[in-house]
Amino acid sequence: MIRDILNNNLRIQFRIIKALIFREIITRYGRQNIGFLWVFIEPIIFTLGVSALWFLVKGIASDIVTPFAFALTGYSSVLLWRNSANRCVLAVEPNMALMYHKNVNLIDVFLARLILEIIGVTISFIVLFIIFFFFDQIFLPENLYKVLLAWFLLIWFALALGIFVGCLSELFSFFDKIWHPTTYILFPLSGALFFVSWLPLNVQEVILYIPVVHMVELIREGFFGVVINDFKYDLQYFISFTIVLSLISLILLSFLSKRLNIQ
């Protein structure tokens, strides 16, 4: 009996999130031209731009770590958490009318946007990998398990960060004006533009406090192997940080729901 009720509730929530995702696609991209394809074409364009810049300045070049491989493994990870969080900023107000439906909850609005961004960035990562692989600009991962592990952990982090940022942007009117500049500051510090081992030891200790750096290092170790570089990451630190962030996000979500009188 309890299992049937839970399964029924899960099916309802799945349909709600699915409907919200389609609504978000139509609202954001419309029905004209290529429509929803922009979900992953936008990240592809951004990543290609960064890849081309690395190629032109020849920021890194070797037989295995080409500029395109370096940019793909770094910038795609940034897009995953940054785009997810940005889409949750002030996401509640445009969807307040939907909250009058008893089955639509605040978390559904956030999850719809987050899932859409995660799908878009993931598809763009796969498509660009195939293109770069075809042109011999990247090789098959040395350890696919590490790549997948890092990507799924980053997805978890992106979900927690998105809800955290989304709640704070609703609770504090000035937060969105702080958050967007913060993402530009975090981008060069995220590990996308460097190997941690390139940095002086005292700088390494500081930069490794930024959790996403650990996952960029893990993704690159999975792709390039340990013989290329001395990759530095701490899974326990990243997971612990994300657990704490997830708990804080859920607390903020509950507080915001009560404040907005959303059941």
Alpha-carbon Rg for the chain, nearest whole angstrom, is 20
The whole-angstrom separation of Cα 91 and Cα 100 is 16
pLDDT at 1 over 60: no
Q: What is the model's pTM?
A: 0.91
Residue 38 pLDDT > 90: no
As a whole number, mean pLDDT of residues 33-49 equals: 72
List, for residues 49-88, the tens digit of each pLDDT value: 777 776 666 555 556 688 888 889 988 999 999 999 999 9
246 pLDDT above the threshold of 80: yes
Read off the pLDDT of residues 166-210 as tens digits, 9 standing for 90 and up: 999 999 988 988 998 999 889 889 988 889 988 899 999 999 999
